[in-house]
Structures are given as C-alpha cells and as structure tokens.
Amino acid sequence: MAVAVTPSTHMATINPSLSSSNKVFMSTVASFSAETKETSWTRLRSSSHMTSRQPFLQSLTSVPVKCKRVLTRAMSAPNENKPLPGLPVDLRGKRAFIAGVADDNGYGWAIAKSLAAAGAEIVVGTWVPALNIFESSLRRGKFDESRVLPDGSLMEITKVYPMDAVFDSPEDVPEDVKTNKRYSGASKWTVQELVESVKQDFGSIDILVHSLANGPEVTKPLLETSRYGYLAAISASSYSFISLLKHFVPIMNPGGSSISLTYIASERIIPGYGGGMSSAKAALESDTQVLAFEAGRKHKIRVNTISAGPLRSRAAKAIGFIDMMIDYSLANAPLQKELSAEEVGNTAAFLASPLASAITGAVVYVDNGLNAMGVGVDSPIFANLDIPKDN
C-alpha cells in the first residue's frame, strides 16, 4: 500500500511539533501546494494527527498552508520496485497460500486481508464441503464489505482450491469419503494433489498459512475423549501443518515464511476446550520449533505460530463458550479491549515480511497480554485491591 499524491513539494520528514497517533501503522507523504484553496484547520488536524495548532503554525509561518487532496490507492505494476517510505510491511511480488479459509469472519480471512493490504497475491484452500458456499458467496458479492482493504480497494483472491488436509494422497481417502455427496464434483483436494495444482498454476509460493483445526469431540473432557476423537484432533489440527509444509516447501522460495495458529490451551488449563484439542495445540507449538530448524536449515524457510486470543468466529462458536472466554479476557487481560481479527492478521503480515527475517521457531502471543497473567483479577479475592479497570 502507498499514498499517491499530485506533484508538488513533498514532506518526507516528521516535524518535531507533530506527533504520530498510535493508530497509524505506516508513514505517509503529504503534498502542499499554493494552487489550491486553504484547508480548514479542523480537517488538517484530523488527517495529520497534530497535537496542537500553535506549534504547527509557528513552524510554517513563511507561507500559508495549502493542501491538495491526497488519494490513497493500491500500488500499481509500474511501482512494483519503487521502495515505500518509512519502514513498511512490503509484500509486493510475494504469493501467499492460506489453508483453511471458508468464510469472512475468521482469522484465516483476516490474515489474507492483511497480506493483501501489504501487496501479496492471495491464493486460498477451502475445505471441500464448504467450497461451494464459499465460492458462491464470493461471486454474489456477499463478502464485498469484508474484502475492503485500508486503501479502499477490494481484496482479490486469485484462486480458490478445494482442500482436505486430513488426507495426504488419494490412496489415503477411505471409500465412504470418496462417495460422500459433500465431496461429489470436487477433485484433486488431497494435500499432495493440491500442491501439484498450485505448482502447475503458479510455480511457487512465498508464504504458507495454516488456519485450520478440527476436534470432533472438542466439547468432551479429556478423560471422556475417545481414541478416535483424540487422534482426529491431532490429525486435523497439528499433523495437517506438517503435511502442508512438507509438500509445499519444495516450491517455496528461499526466505519464505510459514505461519500457523495456536491457542493458550496448549500450555494452560482451559476447561471446556477438550477432545484432545489442547494436546493438538501443544503438538503444533512443539512441531513449530522442530520444523523451524529443519525447514530453516534445508530450505531457508521461517516457521512461526501465532497464539491468538478468543474471537467470535463461526468456528469458535462450535466450542459453545466463546462469549465467556471473551468476557474473561476483557476482565483480566492487561489491555482491556476485545481482540480483533485484524490484529492477528497484521501480526501475520509482519511475520511473513522481511522485517521478521530473524524470527523463527517462535510462539507469538496476540491476546492483549492475557498469556502473561497468573491470576484472574476479576476474582472477588482481589476486590479490595486498587486494580485499574476500564469502565
């Protein structure tokens, strides 16, 4: 993303009398000209995040301040190699494959948007039974509002592939799945076939995102979980990452990045998050470290995982107590605000970018700091302590 301005005198440095809002994530370039009408102070202050009017006027007393309309738009092809100002997350020329996108309100979608906003080409894999609904929603414009990027353009998904990461090759697919009507009409959806298709269509990728998990017995306590349910959770939620990386890494460009999503239940007790899912997330985090070593040494690929806080996604609602977890986080996390999917997406974009070129094998917490807490401060035990709270 970049800010395009009409030719004129460009301000490329920050004046000491200006302060940057903590909501601004990359620097912009402002253009000032004497040819246009003077912009009102209120509008100028809002767009430039100025702390006071007087210091600004004192710094520009020699000429009246004039401002042309600044147009924000996505980078076009001619600007492909032009460096962006400041220290941006620049993924132009990179291709990302996001496994596990089936709607527009989960972390996978948010990661895709952030990668697209940084300039990456987006390719996704969607679970076969959800493929028709997802593609139909895209065609009908149901996701258009959710596709809007910070520059006003719409996120483009170059291609959607059918995928079921539980099966590595066609030989692994049991007959009852092959004949299941939810899989009818779809082909080449095992991991091996998927990667072969991506290679044939694009040749290579730079970024691999694993955003999928499934535990058929997630609502059962671990003591009541069957062997089938436990192994199914491990297979879909952790080994699927190994399989995807194993098959994709030969077509990943050196310096590429692989990212998965985990949850604090891997290391803390979260009652209700059962069925072997806590074990699956623990395995995923352990595998992240081993894969970081192996993929790093052999292929120069970085491997990290994001431990994301609770989100009101459709998948999370299947657990049955996501609202309680969000309320608990609001009451006890150091940052008392509801986590947004965009915050996780932006972290993924950073981890995929050259700015994180020395980060691998890491569990990155994006949970408003909840992972750092040793107690729940909303407990009546702490009622007499002077603990700051947002009202």
Positions annotated as catalytic residues are: 238, 281
Beta strands in 175-327 (DSSP E): 205-210, 252-262, 302-308
Amino acid at 24: V
Please, what sign has the CA dihedral across residues 72, 77, 82, 88?
positive
**303 φ/ψ angles, rounded to the nearest 5 degrees:** -130, 120
Extract the tokens encoding 194: 């998927």
Rg value, the chain, Cα: 24
DSSP 106: S
285 and 305 in contact (C-beta within 8 Å)? yes
Residue 4: phi, psi to the nearest 5?
Answer: -95, 135
* Angle at CA of residue 242, ends 298 and 232, nearest 5°: 165
Q: Which pair of structure tokens corresponds to residue 101? A: 């996108």
Residue 203 to residue 159: CA distance in whole angstroms:
14
Instruction: Please say whether the beta carbons of 282 and 267 come within 8 A.
Output: yes
d(CA 37, CA 23): 28
Other CB atoms within 10 Å distance of the CB of residue 346: 21
Which pair of tokens denotes residue 61?
Answer: 């007393």
Gap between the Cα atoms of 85 and 64, Å rounded: 26
Distance between CA 248 and CA 298 in Å, rounded? 13
Other CB atoms within 10 Å distance of the CB of residue 185: 10
Q: How much of the chain is in helix, strand and coil states, percent to nearest 5?
A: 40, 15, 45
Say how far apart CA 367 and CA 44 lie, in whole Å.
34
- Contacts of 19 by beta carbon, 8 Å cutoff, 6+ apart: 49, 50, 51
